[in-house]
Amino acid sequence: MSKLVIVGTVAFDAIETPFGKTDKILGGAATYIGLAASQFNVDSAAVSIVGGDFPQEYLNLLSDRKVDISGIEIVKEGKTFFWSGKYHNDMNTRDTLATELNVLADFQPVVPAAYRDSKIVMLGNLHPLVQLSVLEQMESKPELVILDTMNFWMDCALDDLLNVIKKVDVITINDEEARQLTGEYSLVVAASKIQEMGPKYVVIKKGEHGALLFHKDNVFYAPALPLKEVFDPTGAGDTFAGGFAGYLTKSDDISFENMKNAVIYGSTLASFCVEKFGTERMVSLKSSEVHQRLQQFKSLTQFDIELT
């Protein structure tokens, strides 16, 4: 079976939305990516770092789902990365209330030996130098390297970011970030410029408006499922990435046609993630529910115009 390496934060989040607020709960990019990828029963490993304050039960949540946690370093005397944010009424914008790097400040990722030959690597949002270090530990060039990032690194580590972007096959990025990275308003033009930077495939996430996959002159558009309410958007982008990477790992087919399916799986899983606070919905998610929602995605998008 193909293997998947995931690097990203494993963290505490405290979230406030118009629907309520949480204390410190389980969060982090690698957490959401791992939970999403676990839906595909793939052999994955999370590479991350936590402090001595991090509950074993949170780690068990991952290992119970066959996410290898031997690459999650535990710094007994350290504190776990903490992020706190508050969403505005439209759920599309948020204010960061607190960011405590803690053990993340000195994170030196180590990919477990058994995963250095993985076919797929998912570089979750982190400092580009940490992402690069993971890539450099791989024994041979992975079949597919997927990078997620955010505007923060464009603002304060652009050269490092461009350097890692050069080395990846797929980038997932949101619309505003794609515009910031390229200085282009049109997402078609932005995606084309990003392909010149390195990645052959560009996924632009547009939140409630869905996601676009670009490759050369090909475009695929997966809508987001229209929802009655978005309860908490935290982790939706990471869940998308985890679904995308997990599906590709399982299906062992990295063609553009199959990447379309991966985008649909990513969107499907993200549509669950936002239904409850934090990881709650992803933890309880059953494969029968995923199957049913894929059916909804089909009727949402498929039409029947005969063209000759």
Residues that bind a second copy (CB under 8 A): 89-90, 185-189, 206, 209-210, 212, 218-223, 226-229, 257, 260-261, 264-265, 291, 294-295, 298-305, 307
Return phi, psi of residue 121, to 5°.
Answer: -120, 130
The answer to whether residues 131 and 109 touch, using CB atoms and an 8 Å cutoff, is no
Nearer Cβ to a second copy (107/240)? 240
The answer to whether residues 67 and 46 touch, using CB atoms and an 8 Å cutoff, is yes
Instruction: Count Cβ atoms below 10 Å from residue 61 Cβ, excluding itself.
Output: 20
Nearer Cβ to a second copy (108/308)? 308
Nearer Cβ to a second copy (99/255)? 255
Nearer Cβ to a second copy (81/201)? 201
Q: How far is the CB of 275 from a second copy (least distance, A)?
A: 13
Nearer Cβ to a second copy (56/302)? 302
Nearer Cβ to a second copy (154/300)? 300
Residues in contact with 226: Cβ distance below 8 Å, sequence separation at least 6, in sequence order:
208, 300
Residue 45 three-state SS: strand
Q: How far is the CB of 291 from a second copy (least distance, A)?
A: 7
Q: How far apart (Å, rounded) are the C-alpha atoms in residues 130 and 44?
A: 19
Instruction: Count Cβ atoms below 10 Å from residue 241 Cβ, excluding itself.
Output: 31
Torsion of CA 257, 260, 266, 271, to 10 degrees: -150
Q: How far is the CB of 229 from a second copy (least distance, A)?
A: 6
Q: How far is the CB of 89 from a second copy (least distance, A)?
A: 7
The answer to whether residues 273 and 241 touch, using CB atoms and an 8 Å cutoff, is no
Nearer Cβ to a second copy (142/237)? 237
Q: How far is the CB of 159 from a second copy (least distance, A)?
A: 29
Question: What are the beta bridge partners of residue 220?
Answer: 213
Q: How far is the CB of 29 from a second copy (least distance, A)?
A: 26
Q: How far is the CB of 240 from a second copy (least distance, A)?
A: 15
Q: How far is the CB of 18 from a second copy (least distance, A)?
A: 10
Residue of 38, 23, 15 lying closest to 239 (CA atoms): 38
The answer to whether residues 7 and 77 touch, using CB atoms and an 8 Å cutoff, is no
Q: How far apart (Å, rounded) are the C-alpha atoms in residues 217 and 79?
A: 47
Nearer Cβ to a second copy (84/261)? 261
Question: What are the beta bridge partners of residue 72?
Answer: 48
Radius of gyration over every alpha carbon of the chain, rounded to an integer in angstroms: 18
Alpha-carbon torsion (140, 144, 270, 43), positive or negative: negative
